[in-house]
């Protein structure tokens, strides 16, 4: 019997992403707008976001959107204050958004239930509308990614980003029409797999990696680091560019691989001093960004971001980095479909 090629599920799910993005825009967007409109009418005073793992990085993206677009104070929940310590904060008129692919993690369910009991307006953004999380939240938003079988989340991450973008746009009274270009651009990026495969050879024997960005690109750096760690077991540290300059830069030298996500916009502008310092230290610098940003690096992947608002670029930025994690894992003899010691649903409490 022929053994199935390692990583087949992850590869197939990465390839599904343009279709998932189209489904969200064509089928999911009206429901997302309706839900956002009902919540906006209740005028929440600030926002709390709750998530784990890949969904935590999507929630961080939503934090940037909420603070920049709506001017809403926004924080990330410390779930253990409720689930382990039994704290019961007053969340009257607070919007509590929980992001979870499976909707089955007990700590997310418990935290959302407690938030609703404490007076919050609770929303579950999940890929499983029949999940325990969806059942305890007041509102439910379906990311419509379809079943995801590979342990490394790929299509549910980009689905989360687009769904959260449409949700925040709906809170602002916007229809999110600027996202219409994303599926076609995603297809163009994913068609460049051979290019990523050649780039992956640089990191086959990497002992560690550093990833950095600023602004809307920072959640991409965190998610890419997670993908590299869970598929290839490479210790990958992610930092905001500002934080990287406050000490961690000392560990970067001319044999240290650094991946920088350079957004085409204010986040990329804010990252320029960091890139200069990295080049000054002789870092092996890999850039994901526009052609100009890539030209000044040791290697890179040029994104077709011309005309794409900076707040939507994370949906595209992560795609070559998902492919990179996949290709590095295969080159190192791993199976990215089944990382050791990992489960699809995290059973933390």
Residues annotated as part of the active site: 344
Q: Are 163 and 125 in contact (CB under 8 A)?
A: yes
Residue linked to tokens 């799910």:
13
Between CA 241 and CA 250 the distance in angstroms is: 13
Sequence-separated (6 or more) residues with CB below 8 Å from residue 206:
234, 257, 328
Between CA 307 and CA 77 the distance in angstroms is: 34
Residue linked to tokens 């890929």:
127
Between CA 240 and CA 214 the distance in angstroms is: 5
Structure tokens belonging to residue 294: 């890539």
End-to-end CA distance of the chain: 42
Q: Please choose, from the candidates 302, 268, 306, the residue with its C-alpha nearest in 3D space to the C-alpha of residue 286.
A: 302
Between CA 189 and CA 303 the distance in angstroms is: 7
Q: Are 123 and 3 in contact (CB under 8 A)?
A: no
Q: How far is CA 73 from CA 2, 14, 245, in A?
A: 55, 34, 26
Between CA 309 and CA 45 the distance in angstroms is: 27
């Amino acid at each position: 019997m022929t053994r199935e090629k390692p990583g087949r599920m992850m590869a197939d799910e990465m390839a599904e992403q343009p279709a998932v993005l189209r489904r969200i825009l064509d089928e999911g967007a009206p429901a997302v707008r309706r839900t956002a409109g009902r919540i906006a009418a209740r005028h929440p005073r600030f926002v709390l976001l709750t998530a784990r793992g890949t969904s935590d990085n999507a929630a961080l993206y939503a934090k940037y959107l909420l603070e920049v677009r709506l001017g809403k104070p926004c924080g990330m929940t410390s779930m253990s204050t409720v689930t382990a310590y039994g704290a019961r904060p007053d969340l009257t008129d607070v919007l509590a958004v929980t992001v979870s692919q499976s909707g089955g993690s007990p700590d997310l369910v418990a935290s959302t239930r407690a938030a609703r009991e404490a007076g919050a307006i609770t929303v579950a953004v999940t890929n499983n509308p029949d999940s325990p999380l969806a059942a305890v939240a007041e509102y439910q938003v379906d990311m419509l990614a379809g079943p995801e079988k590979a342990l490394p989340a790929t299509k549910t991450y980009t689905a989360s980003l687009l769904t959260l973008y449409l949700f925040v746009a709906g809170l602002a009274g916007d229809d999110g029409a600027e996202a219409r270009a994303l599926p076609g651009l995603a297809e163009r990026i994913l068609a460049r797999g051979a290019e990523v495969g050649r780039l992956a050879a640089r990191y086959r024997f990497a002992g560690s990696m550093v990833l950095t960005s600023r602004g809307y690109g920072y959640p991409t750096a965190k998610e890419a680091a997670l993908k590299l760690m869970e598929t290839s077991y490479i210790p990958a540290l992610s930092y905001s560019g500002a934080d990287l300059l406050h000490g961690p830069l000392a560990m970067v030298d001319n044999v240290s691989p650094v991946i920088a996500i350079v957004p085409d916009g204010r986040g990329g502008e804010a990252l320029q001093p960091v890139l200069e310092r990295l080049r000054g230290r002789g870092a092996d610098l890999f850039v994901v960004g526009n052609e100009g940003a890539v030209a000044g690096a040791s290697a890179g992947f040029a994104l077709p971001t011309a005309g794409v608002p900076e707040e939507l670029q994370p949906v595209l930025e992560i795609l070559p980095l998902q492919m990179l994690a996949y290709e590095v894992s295969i080159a190192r003899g791993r199976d990215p479909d089944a990382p050791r010691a990992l489960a699809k649903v995290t059973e933390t409490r």
